[in-house]
Amino acid sequence: MTLRTNMKNISSDVMYMCLCPVCLGQFFDTHDYIISRDRHVQSKDCCDFCNHRYGYDYIIQTKGAGQKHMREASEQ
């Protein structure tokens, strides 16, 4: 697997979204994601999910994504 293909797979498992507290709660409730706040952005913006309320930028990754990429790298 080439580096370009590997980077494409990684970027498809990570989402950068602005989420209000209500929509953020929906991601937390599923327990399928690792969610961390992007601390570089201090201002609130319109939520990407509901387009109604305001929230902060978050980095959202599926829980199995990191382990999947580690297995693929070790198989090469």
pLDDT the model gives residue 40: 87
Q: Could you tell me if residue 47 is inside a domain?
A: yes
Sign, CA dihedral 70-72-3-40, equals negative
Q: Model-level pTM?
A: 0.66
Residue 74 lies in a domain: no
Full residue range of the structural domain in which residue 7 is found: 3-66
Look at the chain and report how many structural domains it folds into.
1
In a domain? residue 14: yes
User: Looking at the domain assignment, is residue 76 inside a domain?
Assistant: no
Instruction: For residue 71, tell me if it sits in a domain.
Output: no
Domain contains 72: no
Give the pLDDT of residue 63. Answer: 84
- Write out pLDDT tens, residues 29-66: 988 889 999 888 889 999 999 999 999 999 999 887 55
Report how far residue 63's alpha carbon sits from residue 76's, in angstroms, rounded to the nearest whole number.
23
